Amino acid sequence: MTTHIRRTGDFRWDGIPVSAYKPGGTHFAGITRQLLFEGGEGLGCQLRYFEVAPTGYSSLERHRHAHAIMVIRGRGRALVGDRILELGTHDLVRVPPRTWHQFRADGEEPFGFLCMVDCGRDSPERPDQDELSDLRADPAIAEFIRI
């Protein structure tokens, strides 16, 4: 593994591919993933960089593992539990276990954030119709979420 990985341009890194956010689906849009540190060899966690285009959004999901997030580009908004957060560069967000969350860009610039997770983690789940109804009981959340 390379010791020093240079930033090569605007939020791109030497030898690190810009990947699809997830294998496929229509429950997300305009979002890419770069795996900055994959873990292993003395490290039980990963650091990923996600970038959301101005009209994009991540998947509305939850899981048992937690996320620890730092914004490093632009501005965005996030649903975390029952709160909608307004996020700027270098703000931190903790997504606790089993908490619904979704990220959206806010503005004309891409919205980029680091996300730290354990290497060993469970798969995300998406809301079923009952859970969606519960979420939509709050008008602000109903307006915010994209599925």
Q: Which residues are catalytic?
A: 115
Q: Is the separation of the CB atoms in 123 and 63 below 8 Å?
A: yes
Q: Which of 47, 63, 51 is nearest to 21 (CA)?
A: 51
How near is the Cβ of 129 to its own copies at its closest, in Å?
26
Which is nearest to 97 in space by CA: 70, 136, 138, 125?
A: 125
The residue ranges that bind its own copies (CB under 8 A) are: 1-7, 11, 13, 36-37, 41-45, 47, 64-66, 68, 70, 72, 80-81, 83, 85, 87-97, 114, 116-118
Copy the structure tokens of residue 79: 């649903």
Nearest CB to its own copies, comparing residues 29 and 36: 36
- Please identify, using beta-carbon distances, which residue of 41 and 143 lies nearer to its own copies: 41
Pick from 46, 144, 48: which is nearest to 103 by CA?
144
* Rounded distance between C-alpha atoms, residue 73 and residue 107, angstroms: 11
C-beta closer to its own copies: residue 4 or 129: 4
CB of 17 to its own copies, least distance (A): 14
Query: Which residue, 47 or 53, has its beta carbon nearer to its own copies?
Result: 47
CB 138 → its own copies: shortest distance, Å?
Answer: 16
| Number of neighbours of residue 44 by Cβ within 10 angstroms | 9
**Least distance from its own copies to the Cβ atom of residue 80, Å:** 5
User: Do 147 and 27 touch, CB atoms closer than 8 A?
Assistant: yes
